[in-house]
Amino acid sequence: MHPVERLRHVARATGAPQDLVVAETARALGAFAHDPQGLVTACRRMVSRQPRSGALVWLCARVLTAGDPPGEIRAALRDLDADRTAAALAAALPDDASVVVLGWPETAAAALPRRGDLEVLVVDVSSEGSGLVRRLAHADVDAVDVPVAGLGAAVAEADLVLLEAAIVSPEEFLAPSGSRAAASVARTAGVPVWLVAGVGRLLPRRMWEPLRSRIVSAEPWDDDDEVVPLELVDRIVGPTGPLEVAEALRRTDCPVAPELFKGDIL
The 10s digit of each residue's pLDDT in 108-163 is: 999 999 999 999 999 999 888 899 999 999 999 999 999 999 999 999 999 999 99
Residue 17 confidence class, pLDDT cut points 50, 70, 90: low
Radius of gyration over every alpha carbon of the chain, rounded to an integer in angstroms: 18
Residue 4 confidence class, pLDDT cut points 50, 70, 90: very low
Instruction: Check if the beta carbon of residue 200 is closer than 8 Å to that of residue 55.
Output: yes
Residues 6+ apart with CB under 8 A from 207: 57, 61, 254, 256, 257, 260
Q: What span, in angstroms and rounded, lies between the C-alpha atoms of 224 and 231?
A: 21
Instruction: Check if the beta carbon of residue 196 is closer than 8 Å to that of residue 54.
Output: no
Residues 6+ apart with CB under 8 A from 236: 168, 194, 195, 197, 242, 243, 245, 248, 249
Q: What span, in angstroms and rounded, lies between the C-alpha atoms of 93 and 71?
A: 36
The 10s digit of each residue's pLDDT in 55-67 is: 999 999 999 999 9
Q: What is the mean pLDDT of residues 67-73?
A: 93
Q: Mean pLDDT for the chain? A: 91
The 10s digit of each residue's pLDDT in 5-16 is: 444 444 444 455
